[in-house]
């Protein structure tokens, strides 16, 4: 046997490619069988969405179920129907549950049947939306135009889909850093090229991703000033001005103010107009983290709350929260397209543009962010906005705020629960009466999760755990809020082992009423 190493550059597969008898590919051998299987899967998922109220919000996967995902790498495939059956048995029942009307945890969108179909169709096209000359980029551009219109930005504002607001907020720091660097070329020379340290400002209620963005960008989390908030949990503007003055006096360079439209904990909104004033006086970048709250601009009734958004230099927001586009669909919108491009565009031979053909075009999405290969997130967003229209989408956003008010009123009417923060939009933070350390609140949230009946989440307000109901879901209606309150009372009684006036299982059923599941 010849054991001498193959010469460099030699074809490493044995055999003559021309003599390969059976050509392989990954398409079905029988398209009609596949068609039936695929239709069956889609039908089942449509039923799954339709019947969401019939199921627990969440069920923890058992050890047996999890064991299904600890197998060896499969060498041989198997029939598609078996993969689908395993999806039904081992995956579908154990999803997080954010499609359910009594899911109120964190801040999560609920999806729509239309978004699901769009996602499937996008996968069929399998478009790579990093660049090049194809229609998907026009669809993405359409979304940027629409959002520029909705938020009062100029029509040439540039925008790009990213995974979520965390990424969009990160990009905002990089663009603001680029602007602050002036001619110093930090992309080439690093932060050491700057004359002084750059400092950013946000309220102490700001999402942690902004702190993380300071870490990741090399600017350093210690250079993010967390400004105190007022009784409505909005940034104290006079404190901001003092902090900026103190930093300037110390020889530092303020470069960025991050306002929040809808804080993640309580939904508080900074005074965006006042922040825009400070930013323009100080000549610093004004970015708004409007992850969910910016979309309040789609409701004429709520729009005044986000006044000043139209003056931002950039906005981070998510279509996957209040607009229910299936995960993931974050967006980053920038007023000045040149600065945006300057922060990311690069010359690489394989990305060079041609005057015509598939490599034509000027600005590609890969010039506006760090991703090169990227999916067609614009399609599910375009389907959502085209199909439902902004009036209905805005009305659903408004409805969640009404539901939050309803819950607030029920909490206030109950001797057993206390409000913990003002309700600005759709988030209700409350605690349990006589529960100074929040331990009962914590128990109640875990009990509710395990009951499968409802899923609020927990947050820490002023050092004490609070129950947080973030009502985002377009499916959450009055009966669901009333049911949620009944559940809270019942679970509290159970946690305290107080006698129950009537068995929980006897709670009336009907639309919006789910069983207290024991399974």
Cα-flanking dihedrals φ and ψ of residue 339, to 5°? -65, -40
Single residue of 101, 115, 159, 164 touching ligand PLP by CB under 6 A: 164
Q: Count Cβ atoms within 10 A of the Cβ of residue 8 and give its class: 0-12 exposed, 13-18 middle, 19 or more buried.
A: exposed
The nearest distance, CB 165 to ligand PLP, in angstroms, is: 3
- The nearest distance, CB 231 to ligand PLP, in angstroms, is 19
Closest approach, Cβ 328 to ligand PLP, in A, equals 7
Q: Is 229 an interacting residue with respect to ligand PLP (CB under 6 A)?
A: no
Beta carbons of 104 and 471 less than 8 angstroms apart: yes
CB of 503 to ligand PLP, least distance (A): 38
Of 247, 318, 435, 480, the one binding ligand PLP (CB under 6 A) is 318
Q: Map the footprint of ligand PLP across residues 327-386, applying CB under 6 A.
A: 330
Q: Which is nearer to ligand PLP, 56 or 105 (CB)?
A: 105
Q: Give min distance, CB of 209 to ligand PLP, in A.
A: 5
Q: What angle do CA 178, 209, 266 make, to 5 degrees?
A: 125
Contact 374, 329 (CB under 8 A): no
Q: Euclidean distance between the first and final Cα of the chain, in Å?
A: 63
The distance of closest approach from Cβ of residue 220 to ligand PLP in the complex, given in angstroms and rounded to an integer, is: 20
Residue whose CB is less far from ligand PLP, 178 or 318? 318
Give the CA radius of gyration of the chain.
26
Between 186 and 268, CB nearer to ligand PLP: 268
**Residues 203, 265: Cα–Cα separation, whole Å:** 12
Contact track, ligand PLP, 236-275, x by CB under 6 A = ------------------------x-xxx-----------
DSSP string, 12-70: -S-S-GGG--S---SS-SSHHHHHHHHHHHHHHHHHHHHTGGGS-S--PPPHHHHHTTS
Residue 441 near residue 466 (C-beta atoms within 8 A): yes
Spacing of C-alpha 309 from chain mean position: 19
Of 206 and 454, which has the nearer Cβ to ligand PLP? 206
- Between 159 and 512, CB nearer to ligand PLP: 159
- The residue (of 207 and 324) whose beta carbon lies closer to ligand PLP is 207
Are 224 and 169 in contact by the 8 Å Cβ rule? The answer is no
Q: Minimum distance between the CB of residue 403 and ligand PLP, rounded to whole angstroms?
A: 18
Of 56 and 375, CB closest to ligand PLP: 375
Helix (H, G, I), strand (E, B) or coil at 223: helix
Pairing of strands 457-461, 330-334: unpaired
Q: Which of residues 103-122 bind ligand PLP (CB under 6 A)?
A: 107
Contact between 166 and ligand PLP (CB under 6 A)? yes
Nearest to ligand PLP of 132, 380 (CB atom): 380
Instruction: Please list, in sequence order, all residues whose beta carbon lies within 8 angstroms of the beta carbon of residue 473, skipping any fewer than 6 positions away.
Output: 98, 99, 100, 101, 103, 104, 109, 110, 400
CA 339/CA 335 separation, integer angstroms? 9
Instruction: Give the contact letters, 273-302, x = binds to ligand PLP (CB under 6 A), - = no.
Output: ----------------x-xx----------
Nearest residue (CB) to ligand PLP, 90 versus 106: 106
Footprint on residues 182-221 left by ligand PLP (CB under 6 A) = 207, 209
User: What does 384-440 look like in DSSP terms, one character per residue?
Assistant: HHHHHHHHHHHHHHHHHHHHHHHHHHHHHH-TTEEE-S--SSSEEEEEETT-TTSHH
Binding mask 405-444 for ligand PLP (x = CB under 6 A): ----------------------------------------
Number of residues that bind ligand PLP (CB under 6 A): 15
Residues that bind ligand PLP (CB under 6 A): 107, 164-166, 207, 209, 260, 262-264, 289, 291-292, 318, 330
């Amino acid at each position: 046997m010849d054991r001498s190493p193959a010469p460099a550059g030699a074809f490493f597969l044995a055999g003559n490619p021309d003599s390969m008898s059976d050509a392989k590919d990954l398409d079905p051998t029988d398209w009609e069988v596949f068609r039936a299987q695929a239709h069956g899967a889609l039908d089942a998922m449509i039923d799954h969405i339709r019947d969401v109220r019939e199921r627990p919000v969440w069920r923890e996967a058992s050890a047996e179920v999890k064991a299904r995902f600890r197998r060896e790498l499969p060498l041989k495939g198997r029939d598609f129907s078996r993969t689908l059956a395993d999806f039904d048995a081992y995956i579908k029942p154990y999803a997080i549950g954010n499609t359910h009307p009594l899911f109120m945890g964190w801040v999560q969108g609920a999806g729509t049947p239309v978004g699901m179909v769009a996602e499937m169709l996008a996968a069929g096209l399998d478009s790579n939306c990093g660049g090049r000359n194809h229609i998907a980029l026009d669809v993405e551009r359409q979304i940027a135009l629409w959002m520029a219109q909705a938020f009062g930005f100029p029509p040439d504002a540039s925008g790009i889909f990213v995974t979520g607001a965390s990424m969009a907020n990160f990009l905002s720091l990089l663009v603001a850093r680029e602007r602050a660097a002036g001619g110093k070329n930090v992309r080439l020379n690093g932060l050491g090229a700057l004359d002084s340290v750059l400092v950013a400002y946000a309220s102490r209620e700001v999402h942690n991703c902004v702190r993380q963005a300071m870490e990741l960008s090399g600017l350093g989390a210690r250079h993010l000033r967390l400004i105190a908030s007022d009784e409505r949990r909005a940034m104290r503007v006079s404190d901001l001005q003092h902090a900026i003055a103190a930093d300037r006096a110390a020889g530092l360079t303020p470069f960025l103010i991050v306002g929040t439209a809808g804080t993640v904990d309580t939904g508080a909104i900074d005074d965006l107009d006042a922040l825009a004033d400070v930013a323009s006086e100080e000549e610093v970048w004004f970015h708004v983290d409007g992850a969910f709250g910016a979309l309040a601009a789609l409701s004429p009734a709520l729009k005044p709350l986000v006044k000043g958004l139209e003056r931002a230099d950039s906005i981070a927001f998510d279509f996957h929260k209040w607009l229910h586009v299936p995960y993931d669909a974050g967006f980053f919108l920038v007023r000045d397209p040149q600065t945006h491009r300057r922060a990311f565009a690069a010359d690489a031979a394989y990305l060079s543009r041609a005057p015509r053909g598939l490599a034509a075009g000027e600005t590609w999405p890969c010039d506006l962010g760090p991703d090169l290969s990227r999916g067609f997130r614009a399609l599910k967003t375009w389907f959502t906005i085209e199909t439902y229209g902004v009036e209905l989408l805005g009305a659903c956003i408004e409805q969640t705020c009404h539901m939050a008010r309803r819950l607030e009123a029920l909490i206030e009417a109950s001797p057993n629960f206390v409000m913990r923060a003002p309700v600005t939009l759709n988030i209700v933070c409350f605690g349990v009466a006589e529960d100074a350390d929040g331990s009962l609140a914590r128990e109640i949230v875990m009990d509710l999760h395990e009951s499968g009946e409802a899923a609020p989440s927990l947050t820490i307000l002023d050092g004490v755990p609070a129950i947080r109901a973030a009502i985002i879901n377009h499916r959450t209606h009055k009966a669901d809020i009333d049911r949620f309150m009944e559940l809270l009372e019942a679970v509290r009684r159970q946690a305290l082992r107080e006698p129950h006036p009537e068995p929980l299982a006897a709670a009336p059923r009907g639309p919006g009423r789910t069983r207290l599941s024991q399974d």
